[in-house]
Chain A
Amino acid sequence: MSEFITSDNLRQLAAEWIAQGIRVAGPQRAGGRVLYLPLNDAANLLLDGFIHPANSAKEFLLPKTETLYGYRVEGHDIKLVEEAEAETPQILLAVRPCDVAAFPFLDHIFNWDYADEPYNQRRRNTAIVALSCSTHDANCFCTSVGLGPASERGADVLLVPLTGDTLEVQCVTEKGRSLFAGKTKSDNVAAMSAAGPAPRFAAEAVRKFSAANFEHPLWAEHALACVGCGACAHTCPTCHCFDIVDEHSARVRNWDSCQFSLFTLHAIGHNPRPDQGSRQRQRILHKFSIYPDKFGEILCTGCGNCTRNCPAGLGVLPLLIAIEHEEHLPA
């Protein structure tokens, strides 16, 4: 027996959550794009007709800007002004599996050497309802990094669309079960998951090449078209690098990007990554070599957002395909 819910009933349930004061976020239309945004009206929730929102869902656990603490200068003393963030429960709804699979990475990154309380507090208060994919585009490559269109990694619940407007509700955790208890109908039909994109490259070949070819001309050649913006990193579910600045008597944490020229600029003026070639290389190495060497997993979920959002059509996928091609060339 499987559990089901209609899309109308799901929106009704979302409306109930919103009415209870729970912060609900999910895909909706804004500015001509589909974006994960806070859901004020459950009727705006999109459940189909899109491949992947232009942003990632990470901003609900790692906001693009957050105040860590305030400070006040009093004579020769500095007084810290700490205001605890309210414990607001939130539900991330209809999040693509490639976004959801990034949350266990963020959990690890924000706890492996230091427990990041602002992150952990939001994480404790968050339930994640994934929505499996019925289709994919040319930028998707989840199957090349060990995931798939119905991956439940990181999810409390996985929704799998059926024909018509019905979704199968697969509860993965107790947290997920409590969200949908009494809200579903049982039936014998099993949802069929869509086939994911055909594998695009071998991750092991990328790791091998990256580890051995730090100075390869491929990096600079590939980066010729890179304009040096942060669209790739800011819309990536796993990119998590941040900048800390002091603004208006507060210490603030903001998203950063390894593609920015300021990212590695030293105070004396030296920049160890002086061009886009070295910056693109860093982004590949971090995801496909450094992180796997350190923690045993690829730091990429194959969502394809870096390519979809790149003004120059780059992102990691074209480079990964080029790397694998290079790795397989006869020596």
Chain B
Amino acid sequence: MGRVAILTKPMDAGALVVLERESQIESGAVKTIPIGEPSTGTFADLDALLALPPDERMAWWAGEFSRCTRCYACRQVCPMCYCERCVADKNRPVVIDTSPTPVGNFAWHVTRAFHLAGRCVGCGACNHACPVGIDLRLLNMAVHRAVDQNFGFNVGADPKTESPIGSWAPADHEEFIR
């Protein structure tokens, strides 16, 4: 195959940056032809959710996750989900309950959100793909904002900058280490 060119919307261009940062594609291997306008999305939905008391927020997520059947459409369409064997597919031994129960579904969606910390580019493919309409974007936005606030990291910028999830610096916050 010759050189590949991809018509890329702004979020997809960001995804290619992350894939290059993570050594999944070589620098310059893909020619991008930009199309579409950058998203003008806001964090208003997330702020509205975070304004709820924790028990109400938990109940809201429990309701959303109750519809999940574990079809994994969210994972399969995600540009950042390229693990050869996803943690949810590990069965010798099992790492995350495969049953679409409250426990299993929380474990799956929260683990996935954490693994996308500083990696999710906000393309919204998971939301579009979910047959039961779970607003997974909100989970990823929360993690995205935490990474931005704590590390000042712009996920879709220079592929040469190291990812917060894959690097370490003496000046990093360490409050969580007790």
Asked if A227 and B73 sit within 8 Å, CB to CB, the answer is yes
Q: Which of A37, A59, A231 contacts B129 (CB 8 A)?
A: A231
Asked if B67 and A31 sit within 8 Å, CB to CB, the answer is yes
Asked if A255 and B69 sit within 8 Å, CB to CB, the answer is yes
With contacts A247-B97, A254-B100 known, is A54 near B73, CB below 8 A? no
Asked if B71 and A230 sit within 8 Å, CB to CB, the answer is yes
Taking residues whose C-beta sits less than 8 angstroms from the other chain, chain A's interface range is: 20 to 34
Tell me, in angstroms, the Cα distance from A64 to B131 when the chains sit together.
Answer: 14
Number of interface residues of B (CB under 8 A): 28
Looking at the assembled complex, report how far the CB atom of B124 sits from the nearest CB atom of chain A, in whole angstroms.
12
- Of chain B, the residue at the smallest CB distance from A226 is B76
Tell me, in angstroms, the Cα distance from A257 to B98 when the chains sit together.
Answer: 13
With contacts A31-B67, A234-B71, A311-B125 known, is A229 near B94, CB below 8 A? no
Asked whether B135 is an interface residue with its Cβ less than 8 Å from the other chain, the reply is: yes
Asked if B132 and A33 sit within 8 Å, CB to CB, the answer is yes
Q: Which residues of chain A are within 8 angstroms of B73 by Cβ–Cβ distance?
A: 227, 229-231, 309, 311
Q: Which residues of chain A are within 8 angstroms of B76 by Cβ–Cβ distance?
A: 227-229, 311
**A residues 231-271 touching B (CB-CB < 8 Å):** 231, 233-235, 243, 245, 247-248, 252, 254-255, 257, 260-262
**B residues 44-82 touching A (CB-CB < 8 Å):** 64, 67, 69-73, 75-77
- Of chain B, the residue at the smallest CB distance from A235 is B131
Asked whether B34 is an interface residue with its Cβ less than 8 Å from the other chain, the reply is: no
Asked if A311 and B97 sit within 8 Å, CB to CB, the answer is no
Q: Which residues of chain B are within 8 angstroms of A234 by Cβ–Cβ distance?
A: 69, 71, 131
Asked if A309 and B131 sit within 8 Å, CB to CB, the answer is yes
Q: Which residues of chain A are within 8 angstroms of B89 by Cβ–Cβ distance?
A: 261-262
Most chain A CB neighbours (cut-off 10 Å) among B69, B98, B100, B128: B69
With contacts A64-B69, A229-B76, A254-B99 known, is A245 near B132, CB below 8 A? no
- With A65-B100, A311-B128 known, 9 other A-B pairs at CB within 8 A are A35-B133, A229-B73, A229-B76, A245-B94, A247-B97, A248-B97, A252-B99, A254-B70, A254-B99
